[in-house]
Structure 1
Amino acid sequence: MKMTVLTLFPEMFEGLFSHSILHQAVEKGIVEYNVVNFRSYSTDRHQRVDDYPYGGGGGMVLTPQPLFDAVDDLRQKSEKKPKVILLCPQGETYSQKKAEELAEEEELILLCGHYEGYDERIREHLADEEISIGDYVLTGGEIGAMVVADSVTRLLSGALGNDQSAVTDSFSTGLLEYPHYTRPSDFRGMKVPDVLLSGHHANIESWRRRESLRRTWERRPDLLQNISLTEKEKDLLSSWNYPTK
């Protein structure tokens, strides 16, 4: 995959793409990151990329010309058809499902806004999708772009040491992930559940599924509404006073 970030603050991404899983994915040739300062595309003699909003009001608005020209240039240089994602508080709330969808793309362009907002023509005629990472407002789209870049990269085949790690993550199955333990088996009197030490894989998988259900019921019961449950699992949830009918 190729991932290009259009931002006014490219230095914000230096640490993200040069460490940990994302850096390893680059080293393995799994993903290529490109960070572009779209101010360089401005035709204004002072390289301005924003202006006052028509109709008045506070704040400044990103002008369409720099972003349109930047995306046009990237599209002309690409053999693929990049999907253009606008990071915006008004967009679709980001989820693991959306990350999985984006991980199927061959090329992404992430647009990071700043100031009061975007000229509406950027939304209507340039972006393929708008994504929000939550119901709050940040000073710019860079943090949202980092979230998308990280969550998508770790889903790419070979990015993690074990591809099954991403499959069992919270939300990938529709449930929150089960608890994890490691050595020592007894730490200050706090012991690892016996089933995890048994070596009985079927029992371990059964325990993990049950604990995923329990954790989801306790912390995010809303997720259970979209999960296909067996009759045994419905009975289990009923015993925890969760309505299954």
Structure 2
Amino acid sequence: MSYTVNASILLTELPILERPAAAKAAGFDAVEYWWPFSVAVPAQDEVDAFVAAIQDAGVQLTGLNFFAGDMPGGDRGLVSWPGREDEFAANIDVVVEIGRRLGTRAFNALYGNRLDGADPQEQDDLAVKNLAAAGRAVAELGGVVLLEPVSGMEAYPLKTAADALVIIARVKDEEGVDNVRLLADFYHLAVNGDDVPAVIAAHAAEFGHIQIADAPGRGEPGTGELPLEQWIADAQAGGYAGVIGLEYKATQADPFAWITPAAAQA
């Protein structure tokens, strides 16, 4: 099993730039991050420090989120946010720079919440254009843009795989961009009531990425009730060949204690 540690939600007892080395020390060769800066276009020295932290740790950055706004304040992306198109476009340039320097190929674009006073159709039309722009930009790296159903925010409109796949199809049909893929976060899909086995059976080969956490609680596998091991095996049997993102909240001192030799080799 090839795991990548989400160093934005795990190892949070450490400063963010020390986490790649901690992941390496824990036995992992790959990490992924939410956007690690507070603004869409950080200072160049901040970007350089982030890149150096990954390189010095000797890990691969397998995934990076686009800037998603004020996440602690409830924002969940700029993709469908009218009036912030220029900010998203500027962020694309920084994401591509980091991806080029670190060999990253998967980039998660959180869709954004429904906004009071905004026309949902206008938001969706904007999202299609923004996702297409992002897709074209990362295509030069051989990359994909990931689109993720998310739980926990009623205003976030993509809650099921079908919700995201509708938008992905529009990007391809209307913009001719075919490198936008579903991010199948099994935790979010399950919590939102999606039929995860059916999603896997129908779309595993098309997944751009898989992330896992158990439910309830969003803790390590084994702390809840989800058959994550089976779902991963089924996705792999169905054609998914990528890494598995560990995007859960640690509930014990060793957040990786659940990874037995059998699980690591599954």
TM-score (norm: length of structure 1): 0.30
TM-score (norm: length of structure 2): 0.28
Question: Quick check: which has more Rg, 1 or 2?
Answer: 1
Which structure shows the bigger proportion of residues in strand conformation? 1
